Amino acid sequence: MLKKPWAKVLVFAAGLAPIFWLCWRAWNQNLTANPIEYITRYTGDWTLRFIVFTLAVTPLRKLLGLPDLIRFRRMIGLYAFFYGTLHFITYIWLDKFFDLADMLKDIAKRPFITAGFTAFVLMIPLALTSTTGWIRRMGGKRWQMLHRLIYFSGIAGVVHYYWLVKSDVRLPVMYGAFVFVLLLYRTAVWALKRKPGAAVKRPVAISPGALRDNP
Ligand code: HEM
């Protein structure tokens, strides 16, 4: 089923569902008494969720024995960037109306903005180099190294959320736990591979398409 072309269409449609839902609520003037705050929080939540989904692809495909899950990773990652961009635009446009002085004051007053900004900036090179052409240009190894920035983006996203909540930290802690476990999995795999006696892998030539679809 995961191999079918329509599976990608389904994931694509699922990724658009949150923005459609937001537009539907806006159309019905149902964005609460503070629409800007609502949109900021809604897009922030979806950015973090898509980062977690992206990080979950590799562990899930290995643990569940579903290698074809990898077909969706790029799309899910790009959705994280899409919602992150909407979140950022909501802040600089709807919230601050491009008032740089006000934004600088905000950064000084609320450190969580810097953490969010860090998380967002780290995603930019990943989105820009997500294509097969870029894998070819950079070479598989370097491309993989660069794309590990998503780990730091996830951590910065959680710190951003944790710092901004005033009292009830349950949700940021829950996201933090997800990111922690998903990164722990990678660390464990890496440590096991380095263990003396672990099977030594011969270097193989990796084609860009294979890396994107089957790393
Ligand atoms: C990958 C990047 C980012 C992620 C994952 C992220 C995630 C989040 C999350 C989960 C929330 C809380 C939503 C809730 O309360 O339900 C939030 C709120 C917020 N974020 Fe971000 N964010 C990111 C980047 C940014 C950036 C770049 C800015 C601004 C420069 C920003 C500004 C804000 C603001 C102003 C709020 C609302 C704070 C409040 O309600 O007091 N975020 N973000």
Q: Tell me: the pLDDT tens digits for 149-168? A: 999 999 999 999 999 998 99
Collapse the DSSP code of 206 into the 3-class scheme (helix H, G, I; strand E, B; otherwise coil) and give the result: coil
Q: In this model, does residue 110 exceed pLDDT 50?
A: yes
Other beta carbons within 10 angstroms of residue 3's beta carbon come to: 9
Task: Tell me how far the alpha carbon of residue 79 lies from the centroid of ligand 1, in angstroms.
Answer: 16
pLDDT (average), residues 98-112 = 96
Q: How far apart are CA 83 and CA 116, in angstroms?
A: 13
pTM exceeding the 0.85 threshold for the entire prediction: yes
What are the DSSP calls for 149-174, one per residue? Answer: HHHHHHHHHHHHHHHH-SS--HHHHH
- Is residue 77 within 6 Å of ligand 1 at its C-beta? no
Confidence grade of residue 214 (pLDDT, cut at 50, 70, 90): very low
Indicate which residue's Cα is closest to atom 4 of ligand 1: 157
**Burial class, 41, CB count within 10 angstroms (exposed 0-12 / middle 13-18 / buried 19+):** middle
Pocket test for ligand 1, best of 92, 109, 164, 166 (most atoms within 8 A of CB): 164
pLDDT digits 0-9 by tens, 182-211: 999 999 999 999 888 775 555 545 555 545
Higher pLDDT, 194 or 94: 94
